[in-house]
Amino acid sequence: MQDLKNPKLMWLKAIVFLLIGIAASALLLFESPTLRVGVLLAVTIWAFCRAYYFAFYVIEHYIDPQYRFSGLISFLAYALKKRAR
């Protein structure tokens, strides 16, 4: 698969991901509309965003500036190799 280079397609991809996230969150809250579920959902989203930020920004800018990740699978391979050492 080729890298996505068209800015319009990148924006479309981002919008689609956003819509998927909104739909999934709304369906979860519709299924069980409690404050507890809402708070847990918000904490889950926040935690995964921070983990994603760590995987792609913190590693590249503070821990290993020579390494460039191409996706989450690339990050997992990198993390497993570092752990094996």
Query: How confident is the model over 21-35, as pLDDT tens digits?
Result: 999 999 999 999 999
Of 52, 28, 54, 55, the C-alpha closest to 42 is 28
**pLDDT by residue (tens digit) across 63-83?**
888 887 778 888 888 888 877
The answer to whether the CB of 28 falls within 8 A of the CB of 38 is no
Residue where the block lists tokens 């890298």: 3
Across the range 38-48, mean pLDDT stands at 95
Residue 85 has pLDDT above 70, yes or no: no
Across the range 44-51, mean pLDDT stands at 94
